[in-house]
Chains A and B, each alone.
Chain A
Amino acid sequence: MKKLLCSPTLLGLIVACLLTNTFFSTIVLGSADYSSYVGNVAETAGIRVNDEFQNQLALLQEPKESPESYFLEYLRKDTNGLSNLYETFEASSIAKSEIAAYGITGDVARLLEEKCEALQASVDAKAKSGEALDLYLAGFTTHEHNALVFIWRMFALEGALIGVLMVLLLIGYEQNNRTAALVFSLRKGRRLMSAKLLAAMAVGLASFVLVWFASMAIYLALHPYLIHIWHSSVSSAFHIVFDSFVFRPFLTWDSFSLFEYAFAQLGISIGIVLSVMLLGFFIGMLIKNNYLAFFIFLVTVMVLYILPPTLASIGQIEMSSYVINHNPVRLWWMQEYWFTEGTRQYLWPRFETIGVASSLLVLSLLALLGYRHFWRKDLA
């Protein structure tokens, strides 16, 4: 059975993903030149904006009228008088701004405030560590980072797709080869499905991790300057998430360097990919036809995506919408907010961890139920 997984289909999918990712790695960046310059400066001057850094920067010289001279000028302006943002920052201001901007009331408002108050400890820790002074990609253009998140979101999407296809392909295998009648009458016939799920999960996961690392390698090859700020904190004062109503620094519960952040992203992404595969398995257990199962899967994903906002807009069952908002599809969508308080869409701290853990739990139970159902289902 495992042999079948080395099928051309899987290889084809992986190659397709790598090509897609390479393509997106090249077009996403708009202001790579400045970032590239900042990265190069970081290589000599370090990633912490302090006196030492300023001295190094003062020594730098670029040819007149060259793009580099402008970049240097920007960088001096950006880093000049950079303050330790978190020394004065109040985490509750995030909740307060949101409550005011969106007219939030009641329990939701209370929970939002509680969540942000809990975040204050992280703010204080960051104030002490001074990580707000990290160079990161400097300047207002620090949206590079979001390019990375965009890329990661693609990876997770691809991983989930490959995974679900693997699951459905494997569990539909007997149906497609018309071996169902033969195989499922055998002693361990129906048990084969659980073996298939495990095999699909192993292969799906391996493919995802492979695609992730290979694509990251391609990305870093195209944007080598990132290496120089690899150890810069992602909670740099330069790293602000744009929001029309709220001043929202990229304030993580735990402190991450960009390097650590990448792996944390990978970890949560793996959880999401596995959750989605379990969902695919559940649907595949109920529906015999492969194509129909995949279609139902897509519909389910769509429903998971639009259900929480729809519920929220109905008003009455507001709390449930916040709970359902922890589903893997919404989590995936909110990828750029992972490890932060997660905006007014989430009422409890560490939504990505809670979300992934509960998704895995709930979907494992569903997968088990599906398997149980399959055990007692007419198969031919």
Chain B
Amino acid sequence: MLTVNHVTKTYGNFTALEDITLEFSQGLYALLAPNGAGKTTLIKMLTTLIFPTRGEILLDGDEIIALDETYREKIGYLPQEFGYYKNHSPRQFLSYLAALKGLDKREAARKTDELLELVSLADVRDKKMRKFSGGMIQRVGIAQALQNDPRILILDEPTAGLDPKERVRFRNLISSLSKNRIVIMSTHIVSDIETVANQVVMFKDHKLLANNTPAKICKQLEGKVFETDDITAIDFAHMQLTERNEDGHTIVRFATDSARGAEIGRPVTPNLEDVFLYIYRDEAWI
């Protein structure tokens, strides 16, 4: 069990995260928050790249900073953005990283081939990475994070740059990996996690806002989300969510506290995206 205990992180006099308390046990945790909310900051603390200004992070009761290498050998980490040695092939790059992870050489070589297969890079495993597309690099990163079969897998926007096919594959992969380990991933892309996340963690104003199952999080908007094809007819306080086109009509989703929502719109089941937009609105109720 990984415990974040009243952790605050400040950069100079800017507070990136304040008094965060979280507990991670088996399953997939999604950090869902807008840009600049502090997701990467939390993740960097979980990977010991940076250290909490206040508070502590514990693995089974032991401070991860003190555990040092015994902690680091248990994690797999995909940074939000990472560089690579341009003249290396994925295989060379992974074997270099395996050495730094202290993995057995032969075992690591076998695992590397397996992982490159998994992320569909087997046919380019000996090509120089300088010619790779962003999505291919990202997949090398994913493979790398899995090398040591980590007990804690930490992924910072892993789906950025992946095409729909890879994205689905990845979602399935993560879902199955989270059966027997802690997976923590940050994302903005609601559809990546909506169906697979066990817990959704949200930050607002650099504080923890929610840490709950997707269903429960959606529940807070229950009865408040509607759809209409005539948004101009609304004359009460509401918040516009998403639009979509259907048979030439523009159908608009909106949220409102007003009891009159149902008069104009038809009630729909709120989804995570609605909640995201609702929570991180610019306080712009029209």
Contact = CB atoms under 8 A, between A and B. Distances in A.
Given A192-B100, A380-B44, A380-B49, A185 B72 contact: yes
B144 interface: yes
A183 B94 CA distance: 11
Majority SS at the chain A contact face:
loop
Contacts of A192: 100
Interface string A160-189: 000000000000000001110111111111
A379 interface: yes
Contacts of B148: 187
Contact of A181 (B69, B75, B82): B82
A187 B84 contact: no
Interface in B132-159: 141, 144, 148
Interface string A186-202: 11110010000000000
A185 B141 CA distance: 13
A378 B101 contact: no
Contacts of A64: none
Nearest to B97: A186
The number of chain A residues touching the other chain, given as a range, is: 10 to 19
Interface in A132-184: 177-179, 181-184
Interface in A340-380: 376, 378-380
Nearest to B65: A376
Contacts of B49: 181, 184-185, 378-380
Nearest to A380: B49
Contacts of B63: none
Nearest to B45: A378
Interface in B72-114: 72-73, 75, 77, 79-85, 97, 100-102
Given A378-B49, A378-B51, A188 B102 contact: yes
B48 interface: yes
Nearest to A181: B79
A216 to B, nearest CB: 36
A185 B75 contact: yes
A185 B50 contact: no
A178 B101 contact: no
B50 A178 contact: no
B228 interface: no
Nearest to A376: B51
Contacts of A177: 83-85
A191 to B, nearest CB: 8
A226 B129 CA distance: 55
Contact of A187 (B51, B80, B102): B102
Contacts of B65: 376
B44 A182 contact: no
B199 interface: no
A179 B82 contact: yes
Contacts of A185: 47-49, 72, 75, 77, 79
A379 B47 CA distance: 11
B49 to A, nearest CB: 5
Interface of B: 44, 47-51, 65, 69, 72-73, 75, 77, 79-85, 97, 100-102, 141, 144, 148
Interface of A: 177-179, 181-189, 192, 376, 378-380
5 contacts: A181-B44, A182-B77, A185-B48, A186-B101, A378-B49
Q: Nearest 10 A-B pairs (CB), nearest first?
A: A178-B83, A181-B79, A378-B50, A185-B47, A187-B73, A177-B83, A186-B100, A187-B72, A182-B82, A179-B83
Given A177-B83, A182-B79, A380-B49, 19 more contacts: A178-B82, A179-B84, A181-B44, A181-B82, A182-B83, A184-B49, A185-B75, A185-B79, A186-B72, A187-B69, A187-B72, A187-B73, A188-B69, A188-B101, A376-B65, A378-B49, A378-B50, A378-B51, A380-B50
